[in-house]
Homo-oligomer: A and B are copies of this chain.
Amino acid sequence: MTYDNPENPTLYETFKPKIEKYNEALKAGILEEYKIPDDVIPTSYGVDVTKIPEKFLTKSEILITELKGVDLAAKIAKDEYTSVEVFTAYAKRATMAHQLTNCAMELFMDEGLKRAKELDEIFKSTGKTIGPLHGLPISLKEHYDYKGKITHAGYVGLIDNISTETNQCVQILYDAGAVFYIRTTEPQLLMHLCSNNNITGIARNPNNTGLTTGGSSSGEGAIAAMKGSVFGVGSDIGGSIRAPAGFCGVWGLRPTQKRIPLLPLVPSGRKVQENVVPVLGPLARSAEDLELFMKVEINSQPWKNDATLIPLPWREVPIPTPKQLKVAIVYDDGVVKPTAPILRGLEFAAKKLKEAGVKVVEWESFNVAETVKAAYNGYNADGNAGQLSLLKLSGEPILKLSHYILEEGSGYKGQTAAEYQGDTGIRDLNRTAYLKKMEELDVDFILCPVYASVAPLPETVHYWGYTNLWNILDFPNVIFPTGLKCDPLLDKPDSTYVPRNDYEKYEHALYDEDVTKFVGAPINLQLTGKRWFDEELVKASKVVAEIIEN
């Protein structure tokens, strides 16, 4: 290590009571009226827990939590459900989700109930909803400033930090009628495609609790799969919406940058890295609810308060017919070839799409390694100075995947401005090269894996290239389920394959050991559209997913 190690066991000792207190508050948030009995919680990992909550819900609660957000909002607006009824169903689901997967960092069900009651009173007295999300329970990654609440962004050193204002994206949802009641977990540094942190620990994948939820919007992946919110808000600079959506088997959208408000975020700093720009976006259970999020945000004209945003209105575009769809499929990015279950998913998708009349061609990957490297370089162009200063606040231990990412890219050395600008150049050249390639192939979308494999074990995943390629190119992506799951009988690893590089060697080894560990892991895929054309992408993803799933 060439850096000044921020770990400081003595200092960290002084934070342990604070961590304990934080976890006590989290535990106290598990209210009797919403919880499942402790004795039904599985005591070992490797279990599918997605069906457990249903045993403790009424038929009506199941119905409510199975509805799409758009439909639920319509029913609330027609007085078919009260906000309190809806909230109660979701409060149960979310509480149980946390009990089963450790997906929450903060539960504030009382506040949620109070808000739902207020919304019902407004509806009763005015006959109108306050906005398109009236009464919809929505989950939030802990990452976003929330006035009056602790926001630590996964840093022990910020465990006393109380936000003085609310993130604009969150405020817009609130103003549109959302009910907040849970803030979900994230890894240390917010930079693992996994979930561990020194405050609340590892979150578990609901489909198989032996596996990671993905990250950094780790809790959002889990709660979506547990149907614990209508939709949730994640953030993504390298895959942080898409890995959890993919690994947990739900939907996620990483929109094109500068359309959705980003600030304020914790940690806040005056340094802005823009070779790869973070974006906020939804994790949900349908394409329609991804769109609902986007419409609410963009129709509020957030650029009036934030000059970094672009006034691109949300356009209403038609749902394409299968015959109008033109898709290129990535079977291999040239760096890490997908493992057996993912290849099966891609081949299955190609077959179904072709049968439905979709134009399907193969995408020959190009410039992936250099572009992905530029993305990694961007993360620590400052030589990790910002992250180290925050770790230093508490002296907390640096976790396994934190070490990985701090040493990736430009590492502790950082970059000069000239090197950084060289990566900006690589980024811009490839943005246009990818666009031109799409035009040359005459396709509007690119279908590819979310990651080289299905959800791996916690604290193992390294290679971000299937997601962070699109972050740096800033082409928007939708993650969607294929309906397929990893099956040890069908998805045997190819033991004859010779890895082309260290990334591939490492990632393939993760899948190579004992395939039965991955049973039930969802096989999701990633659909990418043209930059700024989020509208077309969301609509296309609905059709693509329906063709593949049915």
Contact = CB atoms under 8 A, between A and B. Distances in A.
A429 interface: yes
A425 B303 contact: no
A335 B543 CA distance: 58
Contacts of A532: 303, 310-311
Contacts of A130: none
Interface in A297-348: 303-308, 310-312
A432 B435 CA distance: 31
Interface stretch (A221-229, A410-418, A491-499, A512-520): A410-418
A304 B435 CA distance: 8
Interface string A425-437: 1111101101110
Contacts of A435: 304-307
Contacts of A549: none
Oligomeric state, in number of copies? Answer: 2
A421 interface: yes
Interface residues of A, number: 47
A424 to B, nearest CB: 4
A354 interface: no
B422 A420 contact: no
Interface stretch (A69-77, A91-99, A264-272): A264-272
Centre residue among A421, A428, A431 by max chain B CB count within 10 A: A421
A441 B155 CA distance: 39
A162 interface: no
Contacts of A308: 428, 431-432
A149 interface: no
A381 interface: yes
A531 interface: yes
Contact of A307 (B271, B273, B414, B431): B431
A356 interface: no
A419 interface: yes
Interface in A390-417: 410, 414-417
A274 interface: yes
Given A274-B421, A307-B531, 4 more contacts: A270-B429, A273-B424, A304-B435, A414-B416
Interface of A: 269-274, 303-308, 310-312, 381-383, 385, 410, 414-422, 424-429, 431-432, 434-436, 439, 473, 475, 530-533
13 contacts: A270-B422, A304-B435, A304-B439, A305-B432, A307-B435, A307-B473, A311-B533, A312-B312, A381-B421, A382-B416, A382-B417, A383-B418, A417-B417
